[in-house]
Amino acid sequence: MPEHKISFTTQKTYSTLNQATEKTEYIWFVCHGLGYLSRYFIRYFSGLDTEKHFVIAPQAPSKYYQDKSYKHIGASWLTREETQLEMDNVKTYFDEIYKTEIAPYSDKKLIVLGYSQGVSVAMRWIAKSKIQCDKLLIHSGGIPEELKSKDFKNLNFSPYLIYGKSDPYINKERAEKELNKAKNLFGEKLKVMPFKGKHEVSTDIIISFD
């Protein structure tokens, strides 16, 4: 059966932490992992200096019930079904947040973080929209296979590969694979930051950027 595409206007939410002021030094754009809601994910950044850091957490569009009691709600960014189309929608959404919350503060440093599933949308957005950020934090997630070093040409940022040494989703082979992909993209600029922990957000590493 044929499938068709249609365009329409929609609305999406996102969460913020702290306020953007003259004292703000860093703006964070943080993409949560599978099963999170942005208003909960953003709490991992509450240890940052409230005057120096303004945090933006976009919300993945596909919400679902996580248990049979229909109590807990999570969200997903992408699946292998219509990945390119869904990423185009996410890019448009991210671009609008950028125009509203980030572009007016061009004097601030921008840190983009993707955690777990959020790595794929964060990196694709930077590559496709040519986002000039100060740091890219690739935290416990897979780098999209299709990305090449040329996709980040003329984008001057510091890339960090972050993962837990006891992460059950990142065994030795997976860690080597992701490290090689990151090196192929960023070369000697890449900084690797493993930490003692499982598949979890490292608040200690987040605070180290304070």
Spell out the domain ranges in the chain: 14-207
Q: How many Å from the N-terminal Cα to the C-terminal Cα in the chain? A: 53
> Which of 63-72 are b and which e, b meaning 16 or more Cβ less than 10 Å from the residue's Cβ?
eeeeeeeeee
Whether the per-residue pLDDT at 84 is higher than 90: the answer is yes
pLDDT tens, 35-82? 999 999 999 999 999 999 999 999 999 999 998 889 899 999 999 999
Record the tokens describing residue 167, joined without a space: 């992460």
Instruction: Provide the pLDDT for residue 193.
Output: 96
Whether the per-residue pLDDT at 1 is higher than 90: the answer is no
According to CATH, the superfamily of the domain at 14-207 is: Alpha/Beta hydrolase fold, catalytic domain (3.40.50.1820)
How many Å apart are CA 13 and CA 54, to the nearest integer?
17
Specify the pairing of strand 135-139 against strand 158-164: parallel
> Beta-strand (E) ranges in 48-190?
53-58, 62-65, 73-76, 109-115, 135-139, 158-164
